[in-house]
Chain A
Amino acid sequence: MKRIDAINEIATKVKESGALLIGNIGIPCKEIHHVCDVPTNFYMLGSMGLASSIGLGLALARPDKKVVAIDGDGSILMNMGTLATIATQSPENYLLVIVDNGAYGSTGNQPTATSVVTDLAAVARGAGNKDVFEVSTPEELRDVLKSTDKGIIVAKAEPGNTDAPVIEMTPEGIIERFTDISSQPSH
């Protein structure tokens, strides 16, 4: 499985569930945008490490909406405290998918610690998260996505990027389109 395969599965899931989707900095955002650009997507263009935090804040603010964040192993390693905060809050409407390809995919595939010794699922459990799922194929990911809207999925993948184009939207355009939906009451 490559990152794009995981993104395809997640895109299918959020299209069906109407969940708000937070995309991680760099090529993951480009790939999400390329696969399925919808107003319920927020593309995080900067602030590496904070996709999981943005998703958590949104889920806590809006318990009436489902929230999914797509993050990477390099980003989680940069903000590991997020796993403790997510465990402590444990919102029912928040699903964090960590695509763990063992590399900083947007900067030249430099290896991360997860390609050597670090086990992010074990870290997530150790931080106190109860619902932690590990998958390594698109089919396994699809099955878990069908069964839950809550918890943390660590999706093991091989490094590699598609040539998804740059996102042409402005930051203002991205957030205004998103908050038109995310800040409104559900019907």
Chain B
Amino acid sequence: MTGSPEILTPSEAVFKGINDAGIDFIVSVPCANLKELIPMVDKAPEILHLPVTREEEGVGICAGAYMGGKKTAMLMQNSGLGNSINALASLNQLYNIPLLMIVSHRGVEGEPIVAQVPMGELTSKLLDTMEIPYFMPGKDVDSADLIVKAWNTAAEQKKPVAVLLPIPFWRKQA
């Protein structure tokens, strides 16, 4: 029997990307799709993780951590983009502060909750309007590499960057 390469679950692949990117400070607001990833991040000794009450608060906390030399990310649902827009513009974009937003993108293909649909459909349009670069998984795209690429873009361009991970991505969850 030959050894096959280990297949990572979606959460494991994102976690690998977080580690590969050297992210060491994470805030989170939960989503059902993040229920495996959040404990992984919380247990990682090299990552300082804290839950926050609202995404806008998380943007502020990450900005402060960046000023303290940290590489920052926020785990969130796309609904939280709406809660963060003023801060992303008048804090991150004003002062050139990088931030990686790892986003469970609800309200798209396979969404069972009708209330998720309006923000689900607005998410990429809002990011376009705000000139926030975003990355999405695709065929033959390694999810861990996607996270690293997104963080590198945030760090190089000194701005917020999003990775949008829609419902079908998480369905592959083991």
* Chain A contact residues, CB within 8 Å of chain B: 22, 42, 44-62, 65, 79, 81-82, 84-85, 88-89, 171-172, 174-175, 178-179, 182-184
**Inter-chain contacts of B90 with A (CB < 8 A):** 45-47
Inter-chain CA distance A47–B67, complex, in Å, is 16
A85:B95 contact, CB within 8 angstroms: no
B91:A57 contact, CB within 8 angstroms: no
**Inter-chain contacts of A82 with B (CB < 8 A):** 53, 57
Inter-chain CA distance A44–B91, complex, in Å, is 8
A22:B64 contact, CB within 8 angstroms: yes
**Inter-chain contacts of A48 with B (CB < 8 A):** 86
Inter-chain CA distance A185–B91, complex, in Å, is 24
* Chain B contact residues, CB within 8 Å of chain A: 25, 48, 50-54, 56-70, 86-87, 89-91, 94-97
**Inter-chain contacts of B69 with A (CB < 8 A):** 61-62, 182-184
A57:B53 contact, CB within 8 angstroms: no
Please give me the 9 A-B residue pairs with the lowest Cβ-Cβ distance, nearest first.
A46-B90, A57-B64, A81-B53, A61-B68, A53-B60, A50-B60, A57-B61, A58-B64, A183-B69
A50:B67 contact, CB within 8 angstroms: no
Chain A residue nearest to B24 in the complex (CB)? A61
Inter-chain CA distance A44–B63, complex, in Å, is 11
Q: 27 pairs across A/B with beta carbons < 8 Å?
A: A42-B67, A44-B91, A45-B94, A47-B59, A47-B60, A47-B86, A50-B57, A53-B58, A55-B64, A57-B64, A57-B66, A58-B64, A58-B65, A58-B68, A59-B64, A60-B48, A60-B64, A60-B68, A61-B64, A65-B68, A79-B60, A81-B54, A85-B50, A85-B51, A171-B94, A172-B95, A182-B68
Chain A residue nearest to B52 in the complex (CB)? A85
Inter-chain CA distance A88–B64, complex, in Å, is 17
**Inter-chain contacts of A49 with B (CB < 8 A):** 56, 60
A183:B50 contact, CB within 8 angstroms: no
A61:B70 contact, CB within 8 angstroms: yes
A57:B65 contact, CB within 8 angstroms: yes
Inter-chain CA distance A5–B24, complex, in Å, is 39
Chain A residue nearest to B59 in the complex (CB)? A50
What distance in Å separates the Cβ of A81 from its nearest Cβ neighbour in chain B? 3
B57:A54 contact, CB within 8 angstroms: no
